Amino acid sequence: MENLTLTGLLKRAASEFPTRRALSLSGKFDFTHDRLQQLVDHAASLLLASGVNPGDVVALTFPNTVEFVVLFLAVIRCRATAAPLNTAYTAEEFEFYLSDSESKLLITPKEGIQSAQAAASKLKIPHATATLHDAESKLSISTSESESISDCSVVEVVNDPSDVALFLHTSGTTSRPKGVPLTQLNLASSVRNIKSVYKLRESDSTVLVLPLFHVHGLIAGLLSSLAAGAAVTLPSAGRFSASTFWSDMLSYGATWYTAVPTIHQIIIDRHFSKPEPAYPKLRFIRSCSASLAPSVLSRLEEAFGAPVLEAYAMTEAAHLMATNPLPEDGGHKPGSVGKPVGQEMAILNENGVRQPEGVHGEVCIRGPNVTKGYKNNPEANKTAFSFGWFHTGDIGFFDSDGYLHLVGRIKELINRGGEKISPIEIDSVLLSHSEIAQAVAFGVPDDKYGEEINCAVIRREGSNIEEAEVLEFCKKNVAAFKAPKKVFITDSLPKTATGKIQRRLVAEHFLAQISSAKVPKFGA
């Protein structure tokens, strides 16, 4: 049973490596695995005493802090469900997420999150705050009436693989966000997969650069490390900082890190403009959550002397679905997102028939890490769960070596005169230009071809590249029918909280401005 629950895996790691460092807040706290488990059990007892019952959803809105980590683990230890939320949400967004998750309690830092509290108040959801005063303290939880909660024994609580431990929403890049319940079994399965494929050990250490309200940072960065008996460091500011990233990596003996392409780009740009005096020796660098341009991948490997492993993941799969393996197990294959890890994967046509290697179709998966279905969304479930598979909405194919190659999202493929064009391919070409920092291609309506290709780019600092030069570059590097017909030069692009460019919003924005000589900033 222990191997089938995340809490069981973490308890076992704490018993095997009790004195090894588990969690640090840069320059402030250092907790061993045993100490972290003590903090979690005590916090869980406080939650039980406050009236949290098995199955209750507890919303947590914090920066990347020790309080968040302890509370998240304490909530699932109570057999309740943790719903991490972005601190940057508006009151209206909080109202949607709190309502859709059916949260019974909102917990914030002591200083509070006004927009979250306003939404909770409107929905009549109780609010509490949590504080860890110093390294020797226990977590304290206070209600909105400023009452401290006494503890209640958690010893008799036994976690079950079927307990819904985590409730997240999809990013909503192509539709309304959908609620994804993930069980203890889902999380434990994904954590085991990540540990295994990257060979995470108690000697490993990482610095978190991604928000813990998202599945990438939470599961790949934090939980997989803790379950391996390894160490995790939280930046002192509660979020990624390019200026302190490498000093933290050196100070805490980091052996790897995982990030989204936007952060990799920031890291590599800073390396070339303000190189550090020394860099840690890394086993590998991991990239996930969006396509990494080959030019960025090669620059990372050359700059930091470590293999860059691109991976493929989704919230519905409790993160990891496929990854390029470590060098000793085959290594990175250019253009691919790697091999399936820990679940069955197939390329299916529209009739649910498995396609042979080299043939394009929808990427579909099934396995113990995959959610059983979206919450309160029968229409989405009908579409996404059919023929016994979860349908990712991504188009791809397997090559002869079993590596998966992604072509694009079904809803984002550009249909130009019957030719299906992958915007990801165009993105990669654009990003290979030395003067382009960020780029995104998208389709726009066209009377002759049905759709035509446009793109938006952000110049690299100091560049004055213009549309004509970008168009000429594309004509030389892609087939004529794939070359963009218009380029928008901009200084910002809409992104999700984890840095993934929202292609649909970019297309909508520039389509509305296509007849205007001046393109306003996003949000203007």
Closest CA to 371 of 343, 394, 332, 334: 343
- Answer with the residue of higher pLDDT: 151 or 508: 508
Residue type, 210: L
Q: What is the Cα–Cα distance from 257 to 234, expressed in whole angstroms?
A: 12
Q: Residue with structure tokens 């840069």?
A: 26
Residues 210 and 155 in one domain: yes
Does residue 103 carry a pLDDT above 80?
A: yes
Residues 470 and 366 in one domain: no
pLDDT at site 522: 60
Q: Output the six-digit token pair for 367.
A: 């396995």
Residues 188 and 246 in one domain: yes
For residue 356, tell me if it sits in a domain. Answer: yes
Q: Which helix (H) or strand (E) holds 427?
A: helix 423-431
Q: 46 falls in which pLDDT band (50, 70, 90)?
A: very high
pLDDT at site 150: 63
Residues 214 and 253 in one domain: yes
CB count in 10 Å sphere of residue 350:
7
Q: What is the DSSP string of 281-350?
A: --SEEEE-SSPPPHHHHHHHHHHH-S-EEEEEEEGGGTEEEEEPPPGGGT---TT--BEE-SSEEEEE-T
Question: With DSSP H G I counted as helix, E B as strand and the rest as coil, what are the percentages for the chain, rounded to 5?
Answer: 35, 25, 40
| Number of structural domains the chain divides into | 2
pLDDT at site 450: 83
pLDDT at site 154: 85
Q: 283 falls in which pLDDT band (50, 70, 90)?
A: very high
When the pLDDT of each residue in the chain is averaged and rounded to a whole number, the result is 92
| H-helix segments, 102-151 | 114-122
Q: Output the six-digit token pair for 137.
A: 């303290």
Report residue 183: phi and psi, to 5°.
-85, 170
Closest CA to 210 of 233, 239, 230, 187: 239
Over residues 267-276, mean pLDDT: 94
Question: Mapping DSSP to helix (H, G, I), strand (E, B) and coil, where does residue 130 land?
Answer: strand
Residues 389 and 505 in one domain: no
Q: What is the DSSP string of 267-285?
A: HHHHHHHS--S-----SEE
pLDDT at site 151: 65
Residues 233 and 194 in one domain: yes
Residues 176 and 243 in one domain: yes
Average the pLDDT over each of 71-75, 171-175, 291-295, 494-498 and give the range with the smallest value: 171-175
299-356 pLDDT, tens digit each: 999 999 999 999 999 999 999 999 999 999 999 999 999 999 999 999 999 999 999 9
Over residues 247-254, mean pLDDT: 97
Residue type, 189: S
Residues 377 and 449 in one domain: no
Q: Decide which of 327, 362, 395 is a domain's last residue.
A: 395
Over residues 421-428, mean pLDDT: 88
469-523 pLDDT, tens digit each: 999 999 999 888 899 999 999 999 988 877 778 888 888 888 887 655 555 566 5
N-terminal to C-terminal alpha carbon distance within the chain:
53
For a pLDDT cut of 70, what percent of the chain falls above it?
95
115-148 pLDDT, tens digit each: 999 999 999 999 999 999 888 899 999 986 545 5
Residues 90 and 33 in one domain: yes
206-243 pLDDT, tens digit each: 999 999 999 999 999 999 999 999 999 999 888 999 99
Residues 377 and 495 in one domain: no
- 348 CB burial (10 A radius; 0-12, 13-18, 19+): middle
pLDDT at site 99: 97
Residues 142 and 248 in one domain: yes
For residue 409, tell me if it sits in a domain. Answer: no
Does residue 172 carry a pLDDT above 70?
A: no
Q: Where in the sequence is the domain holding 268, given as residue range(s)?
A: 2-395
Residues 222 and 297 in one domain: yes
For residue 506, tell me if it sits in a domain. Answer: yes
Q: What is the Cα–Cα distance from 514 to 388, expressed in whole angstroms?
A: 43
- Answer with the residue of higher pLDDT: 3 or 397: 397
Closest CA to 217 of 331, 315, 108: 315
For residue 24, tell me if it sits in a domain. Answer: yes
Strand bridging mode 319-323 / 339-340? antiparallel
Average the pLDDT over each of 99-108, 190-199, 437-446, 504-513 and give the range with the smallest value: 504-513
Q: CATH code at 455? A: 3.30.300.30
For residue 406, tell me if it sits in a domain. Answer: no
For residue 517, tell me if it sits in a domain. Answer: no
Question: Mapping DSSP to helix (H, G, I), strand (E, B) and coil, where does residue 401 land?
Answer: coil
Q: What is the Cα–Cα distance from 448 to 386, expressed in whole angstroms?
A: 36
For a pLDDT cut of 90, what percent of the chain falls above it?
77
Q: Decide which of 365, 395, 425 is a domain's last residue.
A: 395
Q: Decide which of 336, 362, 395 is a domain's last residue.
A: 395
Q: CATH code at 114? A: 3.40.50.12780
For residue 175, tell me if it sits in a domain. Answer: yes
> Taking the alpha carbons of 89, 77, 229, 166 in that order, is the dihedral positive or negative?
negative
For residue 407, tell me if it sits in a domain. Answer: no
